[in-house]
């Protein structure tokens, strides 16, 4: 039997470190073409390390120092001479006034949400503003107003936009050179600079738009890396808060919400079914709504007192304001009730009459709609079918006014009846409208034209009786005139000055139902003084009801801003920078909103270039080319496509608007266009060496800075010359006023910025030529003071269209007689010599005519002390009342008679129409 010996075990080999594999593990790093394309679409590009910084921002220490330098540079540009001009500029007329209303807690209505206005008000309050300045006119010098602090709010937010743009492009994986170029473009963009240096809302809007896009890009980077982490929730929450802030500045922020919404839909389409949606719904829908409503809650809390905006709100809303509360009033309406009627649709003005007649038509007493409580709003309901004088209302039972009742309304203070007849109204002079007046006298029984039939429209569901008979505050009804078939009607048409600009009331045969509805606000019956009668009052709305009503008023008012403005423009002209906006002209300086042409036109060109290239790639894909398999193409298509969608959604909706539009409405879209320009630059220079790329960026930045410096006098309101201004009109449509500048910079030396003062009455000398007629001094009596020679303020109609608010129905105009207006005399333009020292003959004539001057109560100042008027139309002709006084005096013989004859001859030349 044989055995096989076993070999001894070999000693273990020493451990040799394994060399790195040439190809990494397929599941982690090694990707095929399809996987690379999918990774690129999610933001994983070749060469990215395994570490993931928060929000995808991987900045070096040098970049943080660069951001500090950029912020300092932007501060020097936007804060330079921020105190100049020291007067109201463009829409500071509105937004400064709103700050005053906030500080005085007086309610107002604006078409924009309150956040930006609240920030400006906070700065004014912290620096001691008392709200007493009225911000009435463009060019009005500030007095006791911390306007620099108020301007600092948009200026600082404008500065902060610059580093945010840099960080956004770095988060989009653009190179540092590209991000620096975009930051410099925004820093030296003239339009953004001008807009951020004044008390305006566009700079906060652009800031929060930029902040929202930055936070959203950071969230997208976190979502691509690993969702539902603490960092993921943080970026998503900040995105939602920013969305709420941007829409709380202006409703243009809805376009930013749409931009984020489109990006979210794209994400959900790619990830549908893989992740829950509650996070995005909570942070991108609920959180912005909560922020937006919180701003209005603060708005309502501050504006607790009655103010100029009351008339835009419903009667229930108005009674939530301090000073507008009402005591309980009797609910039942009967014959003999003393009532006040309010119109339902036009913010509840009162049916009103006062002892002043229409100048035309029937010339009977005026009936209007008046927005304030007044004794002239009180009417008594009487029976039209059995009028036997004033009955004893206390002794009789209350006869309720039911549907179909025929009544008359007698005005308490003037004892006239509400009346209508077949006479055209004073303003709405159309066939289907009749005049409404107050007619009659004490003891006059009246006629059939005083009759009105009650037609109940609807009542309160909680008060069943209000649908059967008139009940205070509960019944909406119409008043039909039985003889003509028209309905008592009112609309937002104002009477002229003779009607104290109160709202017109007519009787309309084709009345819109909403404008012919009325309700009774207060009622008092004589019988209720001796018996127990139920009382009612307004049901005050809560926050949500007030919030919804204010949104409706803002929407309606905003849509009504359709009047043309001198400097409005349409969206098709914005990318081409066809024209700007004249903000301020004074003291031979001008502030004119116009963009940096290089930045503006290059950004518009980049938009066109992206559309053209994207369309070309789509056509190639249809032909079978696989361009989108290239990770570089996918990266830049995703980046530029997102920015293009942002530009498009912030620009195209303006084509659908019929309201007033201005160049500054393009600024949010311009921000996206500048970022898109930078993305295109990053793509075009991606194959170049870093030094060459930096040199190209430097050339572009220098050109942009030169353009900024060239047009900076229009941004800062600094001295400029007419010649330079005219040479700077690169487009014929640029309508800044070059004639307001001086011809040479040396002329600005010693030129003081003058405060407007009352001009001295100018005089001129007529005659006095050698061998000619005697010299006569003619004095001016202008109806309006002409502006000083050095001041030329162009007062436009600033956005948001003050037509609506200037003609608001709450304007307090007392009912009092209109003072007689002097007749306007048409004066033929004459060439009149300049003011000179009168010759001795003229002085003697003036001494002899002192009695005439006394009769005319028009002393003539010394000609030496009167400045020479610059324009011929500012020179005054002889006053007609002085000529009348002279005509009444007896003519004397001798030289004085010759002087009078000469004066008559001059008067005949100046006023040929009066000579007849």
Q: Which two tokens stand for residue 841?
A: 């003959």
pLDDT in tens, 106-116: 999 999 999 99
* Burial class for 191, CB neighbours closer than 10 Å (0-12, 13-18, 19+): buried
- pLDDT tens-place string over residues 463-479: 888 999 999 999 999 99
Given pLDDT bands bounded at 50, 70 and 90, which one contains residue 901? low
Instruction: Tokens 């030329």: give the residue.
Output: 792
| pLDDT at position 859 | 40
- Distance from C-alpha of 861 to C-alpha of 835, rounded to nearest angstrom: 12
Contacts of 407 (CB under 8 A, 6+ apart): 335, 381, 382, 383, 384, 401, 451, 452, 453, 454
Q: Is the pLDDT of residue 756 over 50?
A: no
pLDDT at 902: 56
418, 450 contact by CB (below 8 A): yes
Of 759, 706, 758, give the one whose Cα is nearest residue 728.
706
pTM for this model (two decimals): 0.74
Q: Enter the tokens of residue 358.
A: 């229409």
pLDDT at 895 over 90: no
Strands (E), 718-855: 763-766, 776-779
CA distance 124 to 131: 9
For 383-433, the pLDDT digits (tens) are 887 655 667 777 778 888 999 999 999 999 999 999 999 999 989 888 889
- Is 208 in contact with 253 (CB distance < 8 Å)? yes
Instruction: Assign 891 a pLDDT band (cuts: 50, 70, 90).
Output: very low
494 three-class SS: strand
Q: Are 500 and 549 in contact (CB under 8 A)?
A: no
The counts of H helices and E strands in the chain are: 24, 18
Nearest-10 crossing angle of helices 115-126, 202-225: 120
Beta-carbon-side half-sphere exposure of residue 392 (alpha carbons within 13 Å): 4
Instruction: Report the C-alpha gap between 815 and 352 in whole angstroms.
Output: 10
Q: Regarding predicted confidence, which is higher, 899 or 161?
A: 161
Which of 564, 722, 671, 656 has the alpha carbon at shortest distance from 162?
671
- 532 pLDDT band, cuts 50/70/90, is confident
The half-sphere exposure of 226 on its side-chain side, counting CA atoms within 13 A, is 8
Place of tokens 């942002």: 646
**Cross-strand pairs, 141:** 87
| 545 in Cβ contact with 320 (< 8 Å) | no
Quote the CA–CA distance of 802 and 561 in Å, as a whole number. 8
Parallel, antiparallel, or unpaired for β 589-593 and 581-586? Answer: antiparallel
- Structure confidence by residue, pLDDT tens digits, 564-601: 788 889 999 999 999 999 999 998 999 999 999 999 99
574: tokens are 């914005």
The CA–CA distances, whole Å, from 320 to 108, 301, 499 equal: 14, 11, 30
Q: Kindly state the tokens that stand for 11.
A: 């000693």
pLDDT at position 766 over 70: no
- Beta strands at 452-458 and 433-439: parallel, antiparallel or unpaired: unpaired
Asked whether the beta carbons of 150 and 86 are under 8 A apart, the reply is no
Q: How far apart are CA 184 and CA 73, in angstroms?
A: 9
Peptide bond into 377 cis (omega under 30): no
CB 571, CB 654: distance < 8 Å? yes
Query: pLDDT confidence of 30, banded at 50, 70, 90?
Result: low
Q: CB within 8 A of 891, min separation 6: which ones?
A: 897, 900
Q: Give Cβ neighbours of residue 782 (< 8 Å, ≥ 6 apart).
A: 876
Cβ neighbours of residue 350 closer than 8 Å, sequence gap 6 or more: 340, 341, 342, 343, 369, 370, 371, 372, 373, 374, 377, 521
Q: What's the whole-number mean pLDDT along residues 226-255?
A: 93
Residue 502 burial by Cβ neighbours in a 10 Å radius (0-12, 13-18, 19+): buried
pLDDT of 239 > 80? The answer is: yes
Please provide the DSSP assignment of 305-335 as one string: B--TTGGGS-HHHHTTSBT-----EE-B-BT
- What values do phi and psi take at 817, rounded to 5? -60, 145
Phi-psi region of 176 (alpha: psi -120 to 50; beta: other; left: phi over 0): alpha
Cis status, amide bond into 312, omega within 30 of 0: no
pLDDT band (50, 70, 90) for residue 435: very high
How far is 743 from 643, CA to CA, in rounded Å? Answer: 45
805 pairs with which residues across the strands? none
Res 867: pLDDT: 40
Name the residue among 494, 487, 552 with its Cα closest to residue 514.
Answer: 487
Higher pLDDT, 831 or 675: 675
Q: Helix 176-187 and helix 667-684: axis angle, to 10°?
A: 150
Q: Would you say residue 791 has pLDDT above 80? A: no
List phi, psi (to 5°) of 578.
-70, -35
pLDDT at res. 407: 92
Tokens of 263: 């990006």
Give residue 18's pLDDT. Answer: 52
**Residue 796 near residue 662, CB atoms below 8 Å:** no
| Residue with the two structure tokens 């008979």 | 469
- Write the pLDDT tens digit of every residue in 72-92: 999 999 999 999 999 999 999
pLDDT in tens, 821-880: 455 444 444 443 334 444 444 444 444 444 444 444 444 333 333 343 343 343 334 444
Residue holding tokens 């829908």?
Answer: 285
Give, for 211, the enclosing helix (H) or strand (E): helix 202-225
Distance CA 247, CA 239 (A): 12
Q: Please report the sign of the dihedral spanned by the C-alpha atoms of residue 51, residue 53, residue 59, residue 60.
A: negative
Rounded to a whole number of angstroms, the CA Rg of the chain reads 38
Q: Where are the alpha helices (DSSP H) in 629-755?
A: 631-651, 667-684, 690-716, 722-727
Q: Which of 430, 412, 433 is nearest to 421 (CA)?
A: 433
- Residue 185's closest CA among 638, 798, 596? 596
CB burial readout 389-404, b (16+ within 10 A) else e? eeeebeeeebebbebe
pLDDT at position 562 is 79
């Amino acid at each position: 039997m044989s055995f096989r010996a076993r070999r001894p075990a070999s000693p273990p080999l020493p451990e040799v470190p394994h060399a790195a594999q040439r190809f990494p593990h397929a599941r982690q790093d090694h990707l095929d073409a399809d996987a690379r394309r999918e990774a690129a679409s999610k933001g994983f590009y070749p060469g990215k390390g395994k570490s993931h910084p928060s929000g995808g921002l991987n900045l070096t220490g040098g970049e943080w120092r660069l951001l500090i330098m950029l912020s300092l540079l932007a501060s020097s540009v936007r804060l330079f001479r921020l105190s100049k001009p020291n007067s109201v500029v463009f829409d500071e007329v509105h937004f400064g006034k709103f700050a005053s209303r906030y500080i005085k807690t007086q309610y107002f209505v604006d078409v924009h949400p309150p956040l930006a206005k609240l920030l400006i008000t906070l700065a004014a309050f912290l620096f001691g503003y008392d709200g007493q300045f009225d911000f009435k006119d463009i060019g009005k010098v500030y007095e006791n107003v911390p306007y620099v602090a108020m301007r600092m709010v948009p200026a600082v937010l404008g500065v902060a936009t610059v580093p945010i743009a840099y960080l956004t492009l770095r988060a989009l994986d653009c190179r540092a050179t590209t991000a620096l170029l975009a930051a410099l473009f925004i820093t030296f963009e003239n339009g953004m600079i001008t807009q951020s240096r004044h008390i305006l809302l566009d700079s906060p809007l652009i800031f929060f738009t930029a902040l929202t896009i930055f936070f959203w890009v950071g969230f997208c980077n976190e979502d691509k890396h690993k969702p539902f982490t603490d960092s993921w929730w943080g970026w998503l929450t900040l995105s939602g808060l920013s969305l709420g802030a941007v829409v709380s500045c202006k409703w243009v922020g809805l376009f930013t919400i749409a931009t984020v919404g489109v990006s979210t839909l794209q994400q959900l389409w790619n990830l549908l079914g893989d992740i829950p949606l509650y996070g995005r719904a909570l942070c991108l829908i609920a959180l912005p709504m909560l922020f937006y409503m919180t701003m209005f809650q603060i708005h309502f809390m501050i504006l607790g007192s009655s103010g100029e905006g009351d008339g835009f709100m419903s009667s229930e809303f108005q009674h939530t304001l301090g000073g507008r509360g009402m005591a309980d009033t009797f609910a039942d309406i009967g014959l003999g009730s003393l009532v006040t009627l309010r119109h339902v649709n036009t913010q509840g003005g009162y049916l009103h009459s006062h002892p002043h007649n229409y100048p035309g038509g029937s010339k009977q007493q005026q009936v209007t709609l008046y927005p304030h409580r007044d004794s002239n709003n009180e009417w008594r309901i009487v029976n039209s079918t059995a009028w036997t004088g004033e009955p004893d209302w206390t002794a009789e039972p209350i006869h309720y006014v039911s549907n179909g009742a025929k009544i008359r309304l007698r005005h308490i203070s003037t004892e006239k009846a509400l009346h209508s007849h077949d006479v055209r109204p004073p303003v709405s002079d159309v066939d289907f409208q009749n005049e409404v007046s107050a007619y009659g006298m004490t003891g006059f029984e009246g006629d059939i034209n005083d009759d009105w039939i009650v037609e109940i429209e609807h009542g309160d569901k909680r008060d069943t009786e209000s649908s059967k008979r008139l009940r205070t505050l509960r019944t909406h009804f119409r008043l039909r005139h039985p003889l003509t078939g028209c309905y008592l009607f009112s609309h937002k048409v104002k009477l002229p000055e003779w009607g104290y600009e109160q709202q017109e009331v007519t009787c309309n045969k084709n009345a819109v139902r909403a404008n012919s509805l009325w309700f009774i606000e207060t009622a008092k019956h004589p019988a209720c003084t001796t018996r127990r009668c139920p009382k009612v009052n307004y049901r005050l709305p809560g926050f949500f009801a007030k919030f919804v009503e204010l949104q409706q008023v803002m929407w309606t008012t905003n849509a009504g801003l359709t009047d043309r403005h001198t400097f409005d423009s349409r969206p098709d002209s914005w990318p081409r920078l066809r024209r700007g906006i004249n903000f301020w002209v004074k003291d031979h300086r001008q502030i004119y909103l116009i963009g940096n042409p290089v930045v503006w036109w290059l950004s518009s060109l980049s938009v066109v270039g992206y559309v053209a290239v994207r369309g070309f790639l789509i056509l190639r894909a249809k032909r079978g080319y696989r361009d989108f398999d290239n990770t570089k193409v996918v990266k830049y298509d995703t980046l530029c496509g997102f920015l293009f969608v942002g530009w498009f959604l912030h620009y195209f909706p303006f084509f659908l608007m019929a309201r007033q539009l201005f160049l500054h409405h393009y600024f949010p879209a311009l921000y996206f266009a500048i970022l898109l320009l930078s993305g295109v630059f990053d793509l075009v220079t991606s194959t170049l060496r870093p030094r060459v790329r930096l040199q190209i960026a430097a050339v572009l930045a220098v050109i942009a800075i030169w353009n900024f410096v060239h047009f900076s006098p229009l941004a800062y309101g600094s001295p400029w010359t007419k010649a330079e201004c005219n040479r700077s009109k690169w487009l014929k449509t640029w309508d800044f006023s070059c004639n307001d500048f001086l011809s040479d910079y040396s002329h600005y030396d010693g030129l003081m910025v003058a405060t407007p003062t009352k001009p001295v009455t100018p005089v001129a000398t007529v005659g006095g030529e050698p061998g000619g007629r005697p010299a006569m001094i003619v004095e001016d009596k202008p109806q309006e003071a002409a502006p000083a020679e050095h001041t030329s303020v162009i007062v436009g109609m600033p956005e948001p269209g003050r037509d609506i608010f200037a003609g608001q129905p709450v304007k307090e105009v007392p009912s009092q007689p209109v003072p007689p207006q002097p007749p306007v005399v048409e004066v033929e333009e004459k060439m009149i010599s300049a003011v000179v020292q009168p010759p001795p003959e003229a002085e003697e004539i003036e001494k002899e005519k002192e009695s005439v001057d006394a009769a005319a109560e028009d002393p003539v100042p010394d000609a030496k002390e009167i400045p020479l008027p610059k324009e011929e139309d500012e020179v005054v002709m002889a006053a007609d009342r002085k000529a009348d006084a002279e005509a009444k005096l007896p003519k004397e013989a001798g030289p004085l008679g010759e002087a009078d004859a000469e004066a008559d001859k001059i008067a005949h030349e100046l006023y040929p129409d009066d000579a007849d």
